Chain A
Amino acid sequence: MWLLNSRFWLQGQVSVRVKGKESERLLNQCLARGIYLWDVKWEEGKLSFRMRSRDFFRLRPLVRQLKVKVTIKEKIGLPFFWRRFKRRRTLAWGGVLFLLMLYTWSSCIWSVRIEGANHPERQKQLGQLLAGQGVMQGVLKQRVDLRAIEHEVLTQFPELAWARAYFTGTRFVLEVVPKLSQPQLQRPGHLVATKNGLIYDMLVLAGRPLVEKGSSVSAGDVLILGEQGRRPVPAKGRVLARVWHEAYLEGDAVERHLVRSGNSVTKKVLRLINWPVYIGGVKKVPFEYYETERERKSVVPWRNSISSVEVIEEIYYELKEIKKVIPESECAQRLLKQATALAKQELAEGSKIIQTDKKILSQPGDIPIRVWVRIEAVEDIARPIPYYPRTGEGGIGIGGTIGEEDSSS
């Protein structure tokens, strides 16, 4: 019934109250004329029912005939709603505008995120690539070809193993996974540590491990010896270690920046092919700091192409330094942020941050404010070096002599 009546909501319906002795006869007359009624009930001693609004006018002859009084109690439905709405046009437009804005804004990119690239440099490069592909704030989502971007990322960065671009709501996310495998040694060689750290986990594929889980190593230590039994082999494996990157920064709680002071001078130069000829204004800029704006005026305006004669007007704006004292806590937060970024720069590709310690070293009131950040990360610290270092081809002589001894014996 509700479903049926909702149809009449669209057409418009009226709730009617009948007063008079022969109310029931009105019902019968309506039936005979095919006027559909529903929700017929007695309310406070009066008959009330609902009907389609366009049927209401067919009620008039019946009402006269039966001498009953009919009053409209309520007007329900879309046509009445619409009529009321039309009177409040501004509201209607507001609603329409709201929906439109919601739709258009939700189909734009609001933020871009790159996941999986720990290295700030890589992150920056990927960001530039995305910008080049037209992924930036305010761009319509439709315009972005996700598959093409993935393809482009993988071709431009061969060191990435996998890339995926997608949208979550209004956010564009690019996920990348760097290739983990190191360039494997073909010739016999060792794996040595690139950094100081604590061995976290290791997987030996070939060679003899010299360290084990939990042992601490310093940069240059041999991790896996390129030796199987007595035979030299290329050492293979992954050595994950916990490494620490620290950064220290200090700064004042004073922010300096340059703004235009309002003073400016102009210099006019006439350029004849390649000779600049001074024609007016100041000769030398009287300011210590300044910004320059250059305006070219073609002497022969109807010739759009590069004319050989033009007047160059240079305007110099004086800049003055403004010092702003910022709250100490805010300054400390900023420094911490910078220090974290600094520490992150040392992270190797594919490393995983375990813990970040941040400390403000200075006491409140100290100048300058000093902060310290330490990032603890797990990364692959193994780096292959050849067993027999050839001349002119880098590599430290670790184990080289042992190898020669081995081969000679």
Chain B
Amino acid sequence: MKPGLNWGRKVAELLEIPPDIVLDLPRVTIVGNVEITVENHRGVIEYSPTKLRLALPKGELLVCGQELVLVSLAQEEVVIRGRINRLEWN
């Protein structure tokens, strides 16, 4: 891990600021296996009914499941609905 990131995390912890704001991390909200909301994403890399790859500021998020639907697709956030089986950070 880079020293800058470490620093940032320490500052965030010290000041009790949510790390996603300081560190430019995505905020992922999961509702059961039904819905996922990803804030601060960088676009869709691949999309099919069973597989969705989302670009993140660093790396990507892989969502696997059935009947995946992008209920809302905006610059700030993506809302994914369907039956979600697996989540993976790459």
* Chain A positions within 8 Å of B43 at CB level: 27-28, 31-32
Docked-complex contact A1 and B73, CB < 8 angstroms: no
Q: Which of B45, B72, B79 has the most CB of A within 10 A?
A: B72
**A34 interface contact, C-beta 8 A:** yes
**A98 interface contact, C-beta 8 A:** no
Docked-complex contact A34 and B75, CB < 8 angstroms: yes
Which residue in B48, B49, B73 is a CB contact (below 8 Å) of A36? B73
Docked-complex contact A42 and B71, CB < 8 angstroms: no
Chain A contact residues: over half helix, strand or loop, or mixed? mixed
What 1/0 mask marks residues of chain A from 8 to 47 whose CB sits below 8 Å from any chain B CB?
Answer: 0000000000000001100110111010111111100001
**A49 interface contact, C-beta 8 A:** yes
Chain B contact residues: over half helix, strand or loop, or mixed? strand
Docked-complex contact A27 and B44, CB < 8 angstroms: yes
Specify the chain A residue showing the minimal Cβ separation from B70. Answer: A40
- Residue tally, chain B, CB below 8 Å to A: 16
CB within 8 Å for A31 and B75 given contacts A39-B69, A41-B70: yes
CB of A84, distance to nearest CB on chain B (Å): 28
* Chain B positions within 8 Å of A24 at CB level: 44-47
* Chain B positions within 8 Å of A40 at CB level: 47, 69-71, 73
Interface extent on A, as a size class?
Answer: 10 to 19
Which residue in B46, B49, B72 is a CB contact (below 8 Å) of A42? B49
CB of A22, distance to nearest CB on chain B (Å): 11
Docked-complex contact A41 and B45, CB < 8 angstroms: no
Whole-angstrom CA separation of A23 from B71 in the bound complex: 17
Which chain B residues (38-72) contact chain A, with CB distance < 8 Å? 43-49, 68-72
CB of B61, distance to nearest CB on chain A (Å): 15
CB of B62, distance to nearest CB on chain A (Å): 14
* Chain B positions within 8 Å of A1 at CB level: 71-72, 79
Between A and B, 10 residue pairs with Cβ closer than 8 Å are A24-B47, A27-B43, A27-B73, A36-B74, A37-B72, A37-B74, A38-B71, A39-B71, A42-B49, A49-B70
Chain A residues in contact with chain B, CB under 8 A?
A: 1, 4, 23-24, 27-28, 30-32, 34, 36-42, 47, 49
